A and B are shown apart, each in its own frame.
Chain A
């Protein structure tokens, strides 16, 4: 079945530094990937839609300059949290959409727990 690998699973960083999270589709090509943020005991909030070879589409209220998304290939999207602050601490989850004809479903990564100290 379709597999999405998200790395790292946990990261602790100092306030003011940047952190990069990777999301890879291992056995299919994903033209579209999604990045979500999840607060404790809450739902997933869509941050942005990442399309291979073009700029990401950000949801309202999400800072583009703070959450940089790059989707340079059909199997890799990255989320960089720039100048991280404690309020950015959260659980970040990526999702990749399988192409039509290959299930057209959504596969999720296992998430990244970011803690900014």
Chain B
């Protein structure tokens, strides 16, 4: 499998909503429920924001939501706040032992 496809950048103003897409194939995103989203601030480790397409870990604001349609997953951030400015990565399980998990290239979210 190749990496998942994400837009390199996205932006929105404080208080607005923004949606980031993550496109895979019928062998990964389209096949499995194990799609996740991670937030990464510069120089920091990734932080899990969404797992199993739509679930939020404890402590993640409900402004963050996930969805999936066919081979494309999406992360929506509502009510943008300044601290949401970060890189966002999607991932999917593939079931392929030689590349068990794949990631997107990351999307840089700018809060205007």
Question: A and B: real partners?
Answer: no
**A: which residues have CB within 8 A of B?**
none
